[in-house]
Amino acid sequence: MTADSTYPIEPWLVRETRLDLDRLAHSESIFALSNGHIGLRGNLDEGEPHGLPGTYLNSFCELRPLPYAEAGYGFPESGETIINVTNGKLMRLLVDDEPFDVRHGELRSHERILDLRAGTLERVVEWVSPAGREVRVRSTRLVSFTHRAVAAICYEVEPINEPARFILQSELVANEAMPPRKKDPRVAEVLEAPLAAEEHLARDAGGLLIHSTKASGLRVAAAMDHLVSGPEDTLVDTEAFPDWARTSIACVLEPGQQLRVIKLVAYAWSGRRSLPALRDEAGAALAGARLTGWDGLLSGQREYLDSFWRGADIRVDGDPEVQQAIRFALFEVLQAGARAENRMIAAKGLTGPGYDGHAFWDTETFVLPVLTYTHPEAAVGPLRWRFLTLDAARERASTLGLAGAAFPWRTIRGQECSAYWPAGTAAFHINADISDACLRYVHATGDHDFERDFGVALLVETARLWRSLGHHDRHGRYHIDGITGPDEYTGVIDDNVYTNLMAQRNFNAAADAVIRYPQVARTLGVGQEEAASWRDAAKAMHIAYDEELGVHQQSERFTRHPEWDFEDTPAEKYPLLLHYPYFDLYRTQVIKQADVVLAMHWRGDAFTKEDKARNFAYYEERTVRDSSLSASTQAVMAAEVGHLDLAYDYLGEVALMDLRDLNHNTEDGIHIASLAGAWLALVAGFGGMRDHDGTLSFSPRLPHQIERLDFALLWHGLRLWVSVAPQEVTYEVRDGDSPAGAQIELMHYGEPVTIEVGAPVRLPIPEMAPVGPAPRQPAGRAPRRRSASDANSQTPVDAQSDD
């Protein structure tokens, strides 16, 4: 892992001060823009050079066959891969017949800025053509939060030293050539020319392309329009062909003159709607954008983000690098879900094609908690999406000979797309993760309409799965065997502690829900006997424990497996899954990502303080963090058991995962769940926030490197502000429009506290020593130590603007 800093430390900006052609793919992910519906990778305006072109629409994918060396019953027959749809970002510029290309001529300066408050990507370039023409190009790009189907670019060009002729070619291009796929199961399959042309139209200042996929039966319309400001004799012309449309804008500019083009791009897609309907939908989106205008789009973007930041911002005094990183993280989580609206949130969001654009359990376990407590209107859409895929999950369960619903391990539209059974189908814990996300959302929001209309069915069908998957032994204990927990280096095992504890909560929650909603229960066919069987199973759930070692076993017999030889595993052999057979991984005590430790976070009510300390130390020695999901959970639990410096080290790793490209794979898209984990590390870790069965509690404690931590939570419509200092914490309900008498009840270090509007409560933070000595990590796998000098290794730019 490297501590190299690519971007200056600034509180609200991510700035690239020079263009590094060797890191284009990485910067394209960092500078990607999305609203949860449309995603544009941060490719250069002119399209070339590029690392990986990318324009995505949430859930727009193509089917592909899943090859097997040997067929097996229940194996998925086809997978889904996100498609690079019609590219509307392209703005090619010619200066006196010389293409503007940063690889030629002289690039005097090149700067890009991702503005986290404005929601824009800005670019300023000064370039000298091979013929000596000096030009300045400015562009501002946005994907609108307020116009779901619209992206827009303001492109400005001017000569610097002498007159020049400029030709700007603004394009829509389908079926772009893509780089070859790497031999890494975490990156995407490459589908060549996946779109079949259906219609193309051109008019003076814009055009339209409509395509369909060849197997999945989806159709997409992409339309563009332009608002041109330039000399009176500026020429504008458009031509269109099956796979591309081009609007050419030509003029001669004198020094001091400027050509300004506002490009509006709209997308519409469906698997059901007709071609004319999509044509009209894209046209209507363009009309709405024209009505709003460029300035209106900018102001709408800023207003949306102002509202978001008022309730979601986190202030970290003492570490400006983490301060920048957590705001970048929150911005990216928002981009992934803001306008997803009944669709999924993929592991990479809409920033790249990694993992084929699939959604995993990452969404419910890491991303949705952040959105639930900061921007719940963005959390409810992916939960409704799970409900909308319930029939596919029921069908999958039936195929497997199970009752209820078996949700897919990886998917785009609800069908199982994992071709590797042990880490896919066997990872049934995703069903409990979904039920837990539903519970968490209802507890935090009080949205009982959602609970009645969507949540009860999800709880019931997942409980039915656990009841048919598990069994009572002759002693009455309940077991769930032959499954895979969060740690994918321990596959197809019995009684995974995380899975069993989450299923236990699932059972009890489903039984409670059918009592609250008897009519829904009758519709689902749930009787008293079935609900009673869920409670019996929950009460009898077997939790594996090693009495000799005094630790919970990740799964039955885990602690008697041989140890992995960490000392003789060289650094270049990580991640292990790319260098060793799964057979070796499965039969040893080596852990890809937090598993029992994750259970102690989300089911902390099932462990004692002593359990947590012993378990954390034991599993810390065996966890290699080959998954970006792990460090945040390790940070949370390290903080809880008192190892604050270690928690701080893990915070640095999770917060800087993409900005510093710590895993060297950000080029395929950023790690949305890891970025959400930065919020968890701060709020659940150093803020000590927990929500067990609707009881909100805090046990905050800061490492010495952080001077103050301020964060907000939305709880039942009230905004709770928490300000943590080294020796005390202040709780305050600040919402100005809160009803008189509104209050939040919470627990502070186990003691009940009531926080009323306008009446802050200041409480001391008790002293706490670490429980036991500092835990060790596998040889070579300790997180990079993070100190105050690391946090302040660069002078923050514009530090006073953090208001």
Q: Is 108 helix (H, G, I), strand (E, B) or coil?
A: strand
- Measured between alpha carbons, how far is 637 from 611 in angstroms, rounded to an integer? 12
- DSSP per-residue letters across 706-724: -SEEEEEEEETTEEEEEEE
Q: Is 330 helix (H, G, I), strand (E, B) or coil?
A: helix
Angle, helices 376-388/390-399, rounded to nearest 10 degrees: 40
- Measured between alpha carbons, how far is 604 from 598 in angstroms, rounded to an integer? 9
* Contact between 387 and 696 (Cβ < 8 Å): no
Residue 638 structure tokens? 């390290």
User: Rounded to a whole number, what is the distance in angstroms from the first to the last CA of the chain?
Assistant: 33
720 DSSP β-pair partners: 713, 733
Which of 212, 208, 202, 175 has the alpha carbon at shortest distance from 190? Answer: 175
DSSP state of 22: G
Block residue for tokens 């992916």: 382
Which of 55, 658, 58 has the alpha carbon at shortest distance from 331? Answer: 658
- Measured between alpha carbons, how far is 669 from 15 in angstroms, rounded to an integer? 18
Encode burial over 286-320: b for 16+ CB neighbours within 10 A, e otherwise. bebbeebebeebbebbbebbeebbebbbbebebbb
Where helices occur in 267-375 by DSSP H, the ranges are 275-312, 320-337, 362, 368-374
Distances (CA, A) of 593 to 22, 129, 443, 623, 624: 31, 51, 28, 6, 7
126 DSSP β-pair partners: 109, 136
Q: Which of 10, 122, 158, 488 is catalytic?
A: 488
Residues 6+ apart with CB under 8 A from 86: 55, 172, 173, 174, 195, 209, 211, 220, 222, 267
Where helices occur in 83-197 by DSSP H, the ranges are none
User: Would the annotation count 89 as a binding residue?
Assistant: no
Q: Exposed/middle/buried for 399, CB within 10 Å: 0-12, 13-18, 19+?
A: middle
Residue 124 structure tokens? 């300023």
User: Would the annotation count 362 as a binding residue?
Assistant: yes
- Measured between alpha carbons, how far is 408 from 416 in angstroms, rounded to an integer? 4
What is the enclosing helix (H) or strand (E) of 38? Answer: strand 38-40
Instruction: Indicate the residue type of 184.
Output: D
User: Would the annotation count 611 as a binding residue?
Assistant: no
Q: HSE of 30 in the Cβ direction (CA atoms, 13 Å)?
A: 25
* 488 is annotated as an active-site residue: yes
Peptide bond preceding 163: is omega within 30 degrees of 0, i.e. cis? Answer: no
- Measured between alpha carbons, how far is 89 from 32 in angstroms, rounded to an integer? 12
- Measured between alpha carbons, how far is 575 from 625 in angstroms, rounded to an integer? 8
DSSP state of 316: E
Residue 286 structure tokens? 């363009």
- DSSP per-residue letters across 778-803: STT-SPPP--HHHHTSSPPTTGGG--
User: Would the annotation count 593 as a binding residue?
Assistant: yes
φ and ψ at residue 453, rounded to 5 degrees: -80, -25
In whole angstroms, what separates CA 601 from the centre of its chain?
Answer: 20
Q: Exposed/middle/buried for 75, CB within 10 Å: 0-12, 13-18, 19+?
A: middle
Which residues are tagged catalytic? 488
Annotated binding-site ranges for substrate? 361-362, 592-593
Annotated binding-site ranges? 361-362, 592-593
